[in-house]
């Protein structure tokens, strides 16, 4: 049986830490401001996420970066690393975003929410959610048109037919994710 720990900090979302588990992470900009609106900032945030996950030996399975939030789907061997990992990503990206915007010390990130993935169906539904998030928020009408997402990696690796079946079989219609960005 996996070791589990539940942490409910006073002023932040509760966190369930389960070793060797998949997590779906949502992180939002402060006051929902579009601090990562330009392509250079989105690319930098993606690179920062990738570098920090690799530094902590965390596997990235899905990602999307939008103007005021991002989602990642990861596998953590040690779930207790999650707060430090997110803090490092947010610290590094905030410093760079503020440098680009000439806004020294401005608060960029509000908070993050994590959900421990229950099973394979939950994993694929969350992955589908990640890929459809730019459509949900009106950035594009087709996930193939949005470049700041892992959709293209899956499409290239598995092909269009697989993606179509995947998107159909793991509908997000019944998924109740809190994504008010």
Tell me the C-alpha distance between 84 and 98, whole Å.
21
* pLDDT 10s digits, 90-128: 999 999 999 999 999 999 999 999 999 999 989 999 999
Q: 2: helix, coil or strand?
A: coil
Q: Give the closest residue to 71 by CA, choosing from 91, 97, 45.
A: 45
Q: Which two tokens stand for residue 61?
A: 């399975």
Q: Is 19-169 CATH 3.30.70.360?
A: no
Percent of the chain with pLDDT over 70: 88
Tell me the C-alpha distance between 68 and 157, whole Å.
28
Bridge partners, residue 64, by sequence: 71, 149
**In the chain, where are the structural domains located?**
19-169
* pLDDT 10s digits, 10-54: 556 677 888 899 999 999 999 999 999 999 999 999 999 999 999
Q: Which residue has the higher pLDDT, 171 or 158?
A: 158
Q: What is the pLDDT of residue 136?
A: 93
Q: What pTM does this model have?
A: 0.87
Tell me the C-alpha distance between 87 and 82, whole Å.
8
pLDDT at 7 over 70: no
Tell me the C-alpha distance between 48 and 44, whole Å.
6
Tell me the C-alpha distance between 22 and 140, whole Å.
28
Confidence of residue 180 (pLDDT cuts 50, 70, 90): low
């Amino acid at each position: 049986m996996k070791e589990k720990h539940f942490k409910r900090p006073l002023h932040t979302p509760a966190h369930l830490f389960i070793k060797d588990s998949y997590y779906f992470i949502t992180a939002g900009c402060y006051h929902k401001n579009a601090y990562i609106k330009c392509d250079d900032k989105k690319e930098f945030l993606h690179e920062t996420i990738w570098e920090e996950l690799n530094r902590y030996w965390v596997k990235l399975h899905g990602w999307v970066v939008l103007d005021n939030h991002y989602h990642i789907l990861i596998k953590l061997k040690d779930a207790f690393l999650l707060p430090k990992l997110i803090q490092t990503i947010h610290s590094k990206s905030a410093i760079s975003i503020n440098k680009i915007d000439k806004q020294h010390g401005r608060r960029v990130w509000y908070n993050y929410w994590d959900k421990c993935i229950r099973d394979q169906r939950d994993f694929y539904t969350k992955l589908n959610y990640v890929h459809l998030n730019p459509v949900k928020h009106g950035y594009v009408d087709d996930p193939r048109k949005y470049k700041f997402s892992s959709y293209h990696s899956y499409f290239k690796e598995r092909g269009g037919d697989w993606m179509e079946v995947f998107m159909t079989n793991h509908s997000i219609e019944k998924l109740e994710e809190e994504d008010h960005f």
